[in-house]
Amino acid sequence: MNDLAAEFFKCTDRERAIFEAGIKLGSIYHQYVGMPINNKNVDSAEKAIMEGVKVQPFISEASVKIRRDSLKSGEGTYSYQSLTGEMMDVEISVKYGNDTVTARMSYIEKLNYPLMYLED
């Protein structure tokens, strides 16, 4: 691995992978919350978010799901809504050096919050 920025990080490979995972999940949340969404574009929205994160450094896998049960039904001019953190379920794997971490952003009902956390 040739990481030109490695000299600026005073941490282990695992800590760097965790840092990178946090950056990626935060960027997904802040870039896409507010995006207009409806039943017609939900598939392409998931794909765009996933493909966007997959090109970022050290991502080995990514999965993006938007909760269909949270979408308004209907047709017409005003049938869209804004994407919220509560609607997203994102899982990413970040590999840095010999370490891989899996991080997730998912709505946790008992917290009433779209939490970003380490799964593994």
pLDDT in tens, 76-102: 777 889 999 999 999 999 999 999 999
Q: Between 2.70.240.10, 3.30.1300.20, 3.40.190.10, 3.40.630.40, what CATH number should domain 11-75+84-118 receive?
A: 3.30.1300.20
Distance CA 81, CA 95 (A): 35
Q: How confident is the model at residue 74 (pLDDT cuts 50, 70, 90)?
A: confident
pLDDT in tens, 32-69: 999 999 999 999 999 999 999 999 999 999 999 999 99
Parse the chain into domains and list their residue ranges: 11-75+84-118
Q: For residue 72, what pLDDT is reported?
A: 83
Q: How far is CA 19 from CA 22, 98, 103, in A?
A: 5, 15, 10
